[in-house]
Amino acid sequence: MVLNLRRILLFLRRLFYCYKTEKVGPKPLDKSKTNLEKVKIMKPLEKFKKLDEFFDKWIVKDRQWNAIVIHHSATKDGQTFDSQSIRDYHIKVQGWQEIGYHLLIEKIQDEWYYVLGRPLTMSGAHAGTKSSVLYNKIGIGICLVGNYDKETPNQETLAMLKNVVKKLMDFYNIIRDNVIGHWEVFIRLGLAKTKEEAWAKYKTCPGKMFDLNNFRGEL
């Protein structure tokens, strides 16, 4: 009798445990804490004043890129290494493995820099949509730190961008028409028909005051 009672109690205990586990489930992983620790141990982003200081070691030969997608941060350049803050946001908040862009251009304490982002061995995380990650896979993402919805890019920014884009075009045989702004991705994927529709529904990036046609014409 005592043995049977023990078996019944053991059965009820197991049943309660299974019900509790199924209903509540395992304790979720605290991604914010995990990603915060990850940021702490990662090396700071590298920055360079001149293109020839990093281009040869940055480029990869065993992966083909077919497009270049230009972005802006849509924030005012604080001249305080904003690229690092963008990286922290992408990792800690978005939960990404690394900053989404492959390269950034920004002004830090009155000096202009190229800032190396996600390695070119990795697909980007800068031009995906709910239905497609095509331009993450084929497009090198370059971000200009600044808000070009409110002001035009200055000549220094454009000159640095032009120099690196031309070298990438030469190395990967990227045609000029495949140097595009982020908002143009939505048109190419058939999600918008016009610039105005893309701006209204999706993104204005790299900014309403960035003249993409004029920029492409100088490449």
**Which tens digits make up the pLDDT trace of 167-179?**
999 999 999 999 9
User: What tokens appear for 26 in the block?
Assistant: 């395992």
User: Which residue's structure tokens are 């509540």?
Assistant: 24
- List pLDDT tens digits, range 38-83: 555 578 889 999 999 999 999 999 999 999 999 999 887 776 678 8
Q: How many residues does the chain have?
A: 219
- In this predicted structure, the answer to whether residue 8 has a pLDDT above a threshold of 80 is no
Pairing of β 47-48 and β 111-116: antiparallel
CB 99 within 8 A of CB 45: yes
Instruction: State the burial class of residue 37 (Cβ atoms within 10 Å of its Cβ: 0-12, 13-18, 19+).
Output: exposed
Quote the CA–CA distance of 60 and 53 in Å, as a whole number.
Answer: 15
Amino acid 34: pLDDT: 52
Taking residues 140-144, report their average pLDDT.
97
> Residue 218's closest CA among 176, 184, 189?
176
Task: Tell me which long-range contacts 83-87 makes (C-beta under 8 A, separation of at least 24).
Answer: 83/45, 83/47, 83/115, 83/117, 83/143, 83/145, 84/44, 84/45, 86/143, 86/145, 87/39, 87/45, 87/117
Handedness of CA 78, 72, 70, 32 (dihedral sign): positive
Q: Which residue, among 84, 96, 83, has the nearest Cα to 143 in the 3D structure?
A: 83
Q: What's the pTM?
A: 0.80
Domain map (residue ranges) of the chain: 44-217
Neighbour-count burial for 164-191, b at 16+ CB within 10 Å, e otherwise: bbbebbeebebeeebbbbbbbbbbbeeb
Tell the residue number behind the tokens 């031009």, with chain if given: 127
- CATH number of the structural domain 44-217: 3.40.80.10
Q: Average pLDDT of the chain?
A: 84
State yes or no: pLDDT of 142 exceeds 60: yes
Interval 106-120: pLDDT, tens: 998 889 999 999 999
